[in-house]
Structure 1
Amino acid sequence: MLFMVGIERPQDNNTAWGIIVPMFEAFGYGCVSAADEQNEVLYRAKEVILLMAEEIMADGHMLSMLDTGFVDYRTQYPEFTEWLAIEVPVEGLKGKQKRVNITLSEPLLARVDAYVGFHHEFKDRSDFLAKAADRYMQAK
């Protein structure tokens, strides 16, 4: 997923490089970090994005809602003079797994199992049901 990251240059040798990811503010979260050296900026930006994405998932938000693509934040954050578009694979983040007990009819369960058997993008029945539920909720 693409994230726009603002970079604030240090004012002197005693301050750090500032990092902001404004995309998270739409959910009521602030996402900032800092790096002591310029060569750490990209690493610190990716690190804070992954940490915040995990927090958003834990609070029940869908990561797909973050996918806004390119947004120009320069006028909103003039102190951040440089902007990077960073691709961070947040889609691979998984929340803590929790076992649930559901009831399905035998014919439906057989159809699900047959579908999963022919579609190898699903690891198993649970993976299919989780992705189907997520896709359904995203459409609403």
Structure 2
Amino acid sequence: MYFSVGIEQPTDDKTAYGLVVPALCTADFSCISAADSQAEIAPAVTEAITMALETWQEQGWAIGDIQDLGPLYYQQQTEYAFCNSWLLLYIDLSAYEGKPKRINVSMPDTLISRIDQKVKTSPERYRDRSHFLATAARHELETASN
């Protein structure tokens, strides 16, 4: 899932970059972090998101209910006016969705071949056929709910 990350630029050499992830901010919870340099932004916010997701999981909150409305939406919200810039950061949520369960699925062999070819040519995106199918299912479910 892509998370919008608001960045508050430092005002001087002694101030850190402020980071906020609005999709993980609720009335009861906030996902914020800081980084001393631009190079540290992605690792710092990745760690903050990971810790937030672990907390959500421990609290029994539904990870599948997380919805990011995008940087253009958040830029217009007064509570995020302090953010001077925004970025999108991809985090694989599959580790937070529960235990894997084996299922039996039937589909045309040519479709399976196309899936396997896509997995083979995109190892940075898909671990295996199951990961591809889970990613496709998540995408379809997100699109269907909008």
Structure 1, 70-79 or 8-17: larger mean CA deviation: 70-79
Aligned pairs, how many?
A: 106
Larger radius of gyration: 1
**C-alpha distance in 1, partners of 2:83/2:58?**
29
Extract unaligned runs of 5+ from structure 2.
Answer: 106-128, 131-146
Match of 2:123 in 1: none
SS of the counterpart of 2:26? helix
**C-alpha distance in 1, partners of 2:68/2:49?**
14
State the Cα distance separating 1:63 from its structure 2 match: 0.8
* Deviations 1:53-104, CA, capped at 9 Å, x for gaps: 1100110011111133525211321110101111111222367x8xxxxxxx
2:64 and 2:97 in contact (8 A); partners too: no
SS of the counterpart of 1:26? coil
**C-alpha distance in 1, partners of 2:52/2:44?**
12
- Letter of the structure 1 residue corresponding to residue 85 of structure 2: E
For normalisation by structure 2, the TM-score amounts to 0.62
Match of 1:10 in 2: 10
1:2 and 1:85 in contact (8 A); partners too: yes
1:7 and 1:82 in contact (8 A); partners too: yes
Match of 1:75 in 2: 76
Correspondence 1:86 to 2:89 = yes
* Deviations 1:19-66, CA, capped at 9 Å, x for gaps: 001112236211110001111001111110111011001100111111
Match of 2:46 in 1: 46
**C-alpha distance in 2, partners of 1:73/1:56?**
22
Q: How does 1:92-107 map to 2 (within 5 A)?
A: 92-93=95-96
**C-alpha distance in 2, partners of 1:21/1:28?**
14
- Letter of the structure 2 residue corresponding to residue 53 of structure 1: L
1:31 and 1:49 in contact (8 A); partners too: yes
